Structure 1
Amino acid sequence: MNTATLTSSTQESAQLGALIRAHRLRIGLTQRELADLSTISVRAIRDLEQGKARRPRTDTVRLMAEALRLGPRARTALEAAAQAGRGGGGRDALTEPPAPPTALHPLVGRDGEVAVLARELSSGAERLVNVVGLTGVGKTRLALEVAGRLHGEGMPVLWFAFPGRPTDYLPSADGELTVRVGAAVVELYDADPADGTRPGGAGPGAVGPGAVVSRAPLGADEGLAGLLGDRPALLVLDGAPPGAPGAERLTRLLRDCPGLRLLVTSEQPWEAPGERIFLLSPLVVPARDAAEPLVASSPAVRVFLDHVRRVRPEFVAGPAELERTAFLCRRLDGHPGALAAAASWLVVCDLAALCHALDADPVPLLDHLGGAAGGDAFHRLLRDRLARLAPGPRELLAALCARAGEDFELVDITALTGRNLSECGRMLRELLISGVVRAAHEGGSSRFRVLGIVRSARTAQAASAAFPTP
């Protein structure tokens, strides 16, 4: 912000403060009495009168005008002074709406998910959406697409990636805005101001790649409320750690920024009030008897072949190759991370050999051969996710994997476990949200299936526990 802008903003906030003080004294109210009448805190009134709060919310100005019993002309003058104050300060950073990071690869097979989320967030019908799903299923890529669509509509997008997660995109320009967003996230998560920790277990000051945030609490003009005011905006929290931020802090953020929408990507819900849980399942795979054109157009097949062409540019998918690809996609459940890892192995083997290896045991091929960002950790992350399941759902998963047949219904779980319908429904819900079970709602019935890669990973995990490496 240049000196002229700062001077202008200060003058406008002083004019607003002078108007409020003059009207208050005119009707003989103390700051405490005005606070009681307006339901605005004494501190906020004092900051407004002293010119410290330069961008009051529209609701604050309305409550103030009603408490001061202003007529139409006086109210208009007060609102104009408040609007002039909002024009300066931190909001000049949003003259051009900040953009999300740039995706490196096209998004395939997610048109329906993108349309639903973009509509809900753009309209404000949902203000807290948490995209959950198994690691590698494409949560970040979906968030990038939704954020890009909303930015195209003119909505500012603030992006925060938690430390330690791979990034398959080009970050947007950083600077003061990045630091301010990071500081707001730190304040959202920090439960103990004395411990100096950061979201996701990062050390003091580290909230993301290259970003260092002051430990001091933000003032009203420095936080997101001062930056955004009432303006609609999207804040993306990518790769949020297990455990929700404090409910009071989250509520305060949404209240202070009435136009803000939060889009979170994580492996489990926050279970916060007003949270819209959006379960992201793997891509659609071709049916076993699908015709060749349907196989070629299947989202999972298209994604796999895109990865194949990056390592084998000369590859041509004829009828035999499409048939093997369809088998491979079904074997890997259409999971984008697993498909990318499998394609990387075609550097050292052909498609027929890869299908044979996957049919025998897909676990060794779940990690990217080239060590792509995050790919070498996929199997470990999958194993860790299974280990974090609560005892009841973990035991249910073991029973389902040992059961004959792949598909099952809720009533099958009650027969398998001997528990009542309510308990079984809750356990099935956790397995669904964790991403280890996939739902299919067809013909009016709801059927479910444990992902094949989950079955294999769990079997390998059990074998490792029974026969530990010396």
Structure 2
Amino acid sequence: MNTDTNKDTSTDRHHDAPTGPAAQETSRVGALIRAHRLRIGLTQRELADLSTISVRAIRDLEQGKARRPRPDTVRLMADALRLGQRARAALEAAAQQGRGGGACWAQPPAPPTALHAMPGRDAETALLVRELTSGAERLTHLVGLGGVGKTRVALEVAERVHDAGMPVLWYGFPGASADYLAHGEGELSDRVAGAVAELCATAAVDAPLVEGPQGPILPGVGAAGFGVAALAELVGEQRVLLVLDGAPATGPRCDRLTGLLRACPGLRLLVTSEQPWEVPGERIFLLAPLEVPAEGAVDAGSPAVRVFLDHVRRVRPEFTPGPVDMEQVAWLCRRLDGHPGALASAASWLVVCDLTTLCHGLDADPVALLDHLGGGAGADRFRVALRSRLDRLSAGARELLDALCAQGPDVGPGRDGAEFDLPGITALTGRGLPESGRMLRELLIAGAVRAAHESGGSRFRVLGLVRASVRSGSRVAAAVGP
């Protein structure tokens, strides 16, 4: 054996010892591969060259970090090891046993604990729970304007799924709302974070993929050495819900996402963000603002009214609304479209003003009061998120929105508070039905437009906050000039 081979063997002996809490016990398939490799005197590098499987994948299998190799991986490994029929069958049986496994939790991992109640979302929550637990949907993307309550709905769905006995793994992206009490899970959190980093990494999007036990993976990405393969091993074929909260607009690579879903047939994903990934198999679930009292009505049980009064009591515990107050609250909820984030910001201003003054301010310019009075980090999150989302619209969708918002209070389908339909859009823009439909869909997904499907028809309305933001931006642009 030459000097280089001796050096490789020494390196292999260093890596052969299982390391880390994820590899406390070598798997049966890993032990067989290592035994056959050493029997015929191959290093991990030589086995990798013969089998076309990466050194890292072989090392993970032998150390027990990965226990669920794909059938193709097992076949290539058996060919490279020159196994006979009986030894090959034993290796395939060990791999099959690993594929049927997954972690055995004494108690299923739980989602974070929500800090506040969530009125008015029973229908959406029930539908999401039913789809995810039944497996009718495996990749559900909860989409809506910033501050509309996507994280809170995801928490409620996760809690109900967990109560039904399904493990829940939760990952919040940097910058996501964290209005909850998180549960620290140690290595479990590392595995989830590593897999998410591998799925959604942007810095190494063009890096070459290598063959892993569950398929192609991106090398060198993931927390504490964990990645998609480690998460796939953890989940196995169990029914598990993985929640990705506050996901970035740039979605994951489809091959990595598809590989994870294929390797884990019981895995369901619930993603929250301001816009969908538009990947195959994605179920887009649009989350609209809360229902508001009808024009001229005072409904204390309205979800928007309940949310607003709940926020008011946090800053004004002594506040007891009378009949006139309730009329103003109902008007305020309609003016803010029942948007939870806007309602929370408006309520914060009651520390320094009364309800009548607040309503006058909102009537004049609602955008000016969308920043939380308390200031500090995130005080302007809703207003910034609103304008940022509108800035990301395509040129055609933005032109349509500007045209709708430019209509006077009594003119055209975009007049304040008025509903419109798709034929009205085609008449306003002069474009064909297919193009108008695509632009309208983009405005719906962006949260700029709200749908009303009643009496068999589909009608739409631009949110008042969006209209005010667009008009405010137009006034600023006109004042600045070219």
Partner of 1:247: 254
Letter of the 1:395 counterpart:
E
Q: Per the alignment, in what secondary structure is the counterpart of residue 400 of structure 2?
A: helix
Root-mean-square deviation (CA), in Å? 3.7
- Structure 1 unpaired stretches of 5+: 22-30, 197-211
Which residues of structure 2 form unaligned runs of 5+? 1-17, 38-46, 77-82, 208-220
User: Who is 1:423 aligned against?
Assistant: 435
Return the match for 1:10 from 16, 26, 30: 26
Shift of 1:195: 9.3
Superposed counterparts of 1:247-326, under 5 Å: 247-290=254-297, 292=298, 295-326=299-330
Kindly state the Cα deviation for residue 363 of structure 1 after the two structures are TM-superposed. Answer: 0.9
Matching residue's letter, 1:272: V
Determine the C-alpha separation between the residues in 1 that align with 2:180 and 2:58.
45
Match of 1:433 in 2: 445
1:236: Cα distance to partner? 0.9
Return the offset for 1:321.
1.2
CA separation of 1:129 and 1:6: change in aligned 2, threshold 3 A? closer
How many angstroms apart in 2 are the aligned matches of 1:401 and 1:430?
16
Partner of 1:235: 242
In structure 2, what residue type is equivalent to 1:299? P
Give the aligned residue type for 2:443. Answer: L
C-alpha distance in structure 2 between counterparts of 1:238 and 1:252, whole Å: 21
- Distance in structure 1 (CA, Å) of the matches to 2:71 and 2:393: 44
TM-score (norm 1): 0.80
Partner-residue secondary structure (3-state), 1:407: coil
What is the CA-CA distance between 1:160 and the residue it aligns to? 1.0
SS of the residue 2:293 aligns to: coil
* C-alpha displacement of 1:9: 3.7
Give the TM-score, by structure 2 length. Answer: 0.78
- 1:155-234 pair list within 5 angstroms: 155-193=166-204, 214=223, 216=225, 218=227, 220=229, 223-234=230-241
* CA shift in 2, pair 1:48/1:381, >3 Å: closer
Deviates more, 1:325-334 or 1:373-382: 373-382
Task: Give aligned-pair identity as a percent.
Answer: 57
> Is the Cα contact below 8 Å between 2:115 and 2:181 reproduced in 1?
yes
Q: 1:385 and 2:385 equivalent? A: no
Q: CA-to-partner distance for each residue in 1:306-341, whole Å, 9 max, x for gaps?
A: 001111111112211111110000000000000000
Decide whether aligned partners of structure 1 residues 155 and 63 sit closer, same or farther in structure 2, where only a CA change above 3 A counts: farther
2:300 partner SS:
helix
Once the two structures are superposed, residues 169-199 of structure 1 have per-residue CA deviations (whole angstroms, 9 ceiling, x without a partner) of 1111242211211111111012553999xxx
How many angstroms apart in 2 are the aligned matches of 1:370 and 1:148? 30
Report the AA paired with residue 315 of structure 1.
F
Post-superposition Cα deviations, 1:97-143, rounded to whole Å, max 9, x if no partner, equal 11111111011100000001111111111111111111110011111
SS class of match (1:10)? coil
State the distance in 1 between where 2:287 and 2:389 align.
16
Q: Using the alignment, how far apart are the partners of 1:437 and 1:144 within structure 2?
A: 25
Contact 1:166–1:373 at 8 Å: present in 2 too? no
Name the stretch that deviates more: 177-186 or 5-14: 5-14
Which of 405-414 and 433-442 deviates more? 405-414
Q: Does 1:462 align with 2:469?
A: no
Separation of aligned partners in 1, 2:231 and 2:243: 13
Q: Which amino acid aligns with 2:355?
A: L
Q: Alignment partner for residue 412 of structure 1, among 417, 424, 433?
A: 424
CA distance in 1, matches of 2:438, 2:228: 43
2:405 matches 1:401? yes
Matched, 1:118 2:134: no
